[in-house]
Homo-oligomer: A and B are copies of this chain.
């Protein structure tokens, strides 16, 4: 199991739009950097648009950030690209036996524990912004150019 790379690609897209600021970031251009098909990029940009993170219009080349860099967290992206439904990072087996003391109580016991773990994950993602990512990418770039 693994959380879809849509999440990583979403972060890549937003970062690239910022770093490429001033120029046009078309789906084809972005696809060139991510190294995938433009349709894959358009689909993800569509999700980012629904979440209010980017603006993009039919027929007009280029996507732009709809918010300030520092106001977009990885959690926003994570939720936008729809990789995990609320409360459903962990799946719980469906129909335990109600005739068994464990079977009839295990779900109610487990679900809050799973939610807490999922919340811890989301909190970590919420503490990092795209601004942080952009800065780190540019720093690494600088270091490599020395």
Contact A83 B8 (CB under 8 A): no
Contact B137 A34 (CB under 8 A): no
**Dominant secondary structure of chain A at its interface with chain B:** helix
Q: How many copies does the complex hold?
A: 2
- Residues of chain B contacted by A125 (CB below 8 angstroms): 117
- Residues of chain B contacted by A128 (CB below 8 angstroms): 113
Q: Which of A110-130 contact B (CB under 8 A)?
A: 110, 113-114, 116-121, 123-125, 128
The 4 closest A-B pairs by CB, nearest first: A117-B124, A120-B124, A33-B100, A121-B121
User: Which residues of A are at the interface with B, using a C-beta cutoff of 8 A?
Assistant: 1-5, 7-9, 11-12, 15-16, 19-20, 32-36, 74, 83-85, 88-97, 100-106, 108-110, 113-114, 116-121, 123-125, 128, 133, 136-138, 140-141, 144
